[in-house]
Amino acid sequence: MITLAHLSDVHIDGSARNEGRAARVVDYLAALPGRVDAVLVTGDLTEQGRPEDYETVLRLVAPLAVPVLFCPGNHDERTAFRGTLLGLSGSGPVNQAHEVAGASFLLCDSVIPGKPDGELAQETLAWLDSALAEGDGPAFIALHHHPVPLGIPELDAMRLLNPDDLAAVVRKHPRVAGVLCGHAHTAAASTFAGVPVRVAPGVKSTSLLPWEHDGDLTLYDTPVGLAFHLLDQDVLTTHFRALA
Ligand SMILES: [Fe+2]
Ligand SMILES: [Fe+2]
């Protein structure tokens, strides 16, 4: 059994409000009597990609005693993300492979700099294909942008623009156990290319479905949330938590 805590879209911006909501999730995880195998944060770690906000992210997750894996989102900035969180230089897509608890976590950079929608560059797709070919244990693909429509038109308009390219890679590799993403600021479950998709709730805010609002898409006063994923053999089970 592989266990994972998944949060997303903390949007650290120097405000006490957003930092406090992120701290609420971390404090909850750090105080649990047991531990998950890893914590995944699927992007929009910061609002504007400022280096000092990545320093805040590092300080916030420091109490977690397990690996913390970060994807970049459209609000992040590659150079600051790479330099501050990973201690690396470079300017291309930030793709990372991690092996945790017998599973591969393949974190793909779906950011198009300066744009809200997402795309997996050819270099990222080739990297993912070869990383999946290297092992035979279960593999999670993580990226910021959702590859399938979620029924929220405003966000579906800025989802992953080349889902067919990703689907072709997923279908080649039966070891893909699921696709984990954020960006939509809503706790959701779907399917893509024959595998489960899980969208973590947005720590900063929650996006509403068309029948839940009358023009104001975003709710800011919802409880802070996260997802727990459990992979047992090839069955992915997800529990969503809302923290009062
Ligand atoms: Fe976001
Ligand atoms: Fe986003």
For residue 36, how far is its CA from the centre of ligand 1 (angstroms)?
Answer: 24
* Unique residue bearing structure tokens 């992979």: 231
For residue 233, how far is its CA from the centre of ligand 1 (angstroms)?
Answer: 31
Question: Of 111, 89, 91, 107, whose CA–CA distance to 99 is shortest?
Answer: 107
Q: How far apart are alpha carbons 7 and 169 in whole angstroms?
A: 25
Number of the ligand closest to the Cα of 158: 2
For residue 79, how far is its CA from the centre of ligand 1 (angstroms)?
Answer: 19
| pLDDT reported for residue 32 | 97
Are 163 and 147 contacting, i.e. CB atoms less than 8 angstroms apart?
A: yes
* Unique residue bearing structure tokens 């409880």: 223
CATH code where residue 63 lies: 3.60.21.10
For residue 1, how far is its CA from the centre of ligand 1 (angstroms)?
Answer: 30
Question: ∠ CA(54), CA(179), CA(44), 5° rounding?
Answer: 20
For residue 167, how far is its CA from the centre of ligand 1 (angstroms)?
Answer: 23
Residues of the chain with pLDDT under 50: none
How many CA within 13 A on the CB side of residue 108? 34
| pLDDT reported for residue 84 | 96
| pLDDT reported for residue 65 | 93
| pLDDT reported for residue 24 | 98
| pLDDT reported for residue 91 | 86
For residue 159, how far is its CA from the centre of ligand 2 (angstroms)?
Answer: 9
How many residues are given for the chain?
244
19, 73, 132, 188, 232 from 183: Cα distances, Å: 18, 7, 24, 11, 26
What is the pairing mode between strands 96-100 and 188-192? unpaired
For residue 196, how far is its CA from the centre of ligand 1 (angstroms)?
Answer: 21
Q: Which residue type does 139 have?
A: A
For residue 33, how far is its CA from the centre of ligand 2 (angstroms)?
Answer: 32
What domain count does the chain have? 1
Beta partners for residue 226, in sequence order: 241
For residue 128, how far is its CA from the centre of ligand 2 (angstroms)?
Answer: 21
| pLDDT reported for residue 140 | 98
| pLDDT reported for residue 34 | 97
Number of the ligand closest to the Cα of 186: 1
Q: How far apart are alpha carbons 128 and 141 in whole angstroms?
A: 9
28, 50, 188, 197, 202 from 146: Cα distances, Å: 26, 24, 10, 8, 13
For residue 51, how far is its CA from the centre of ligand 2 (angstroms)?
Answer: 18
For residue 156, what are the domain limits? 2-243
Q: How far apart are alpha carbons 2 and 164 in whole angstroms?
A: 28
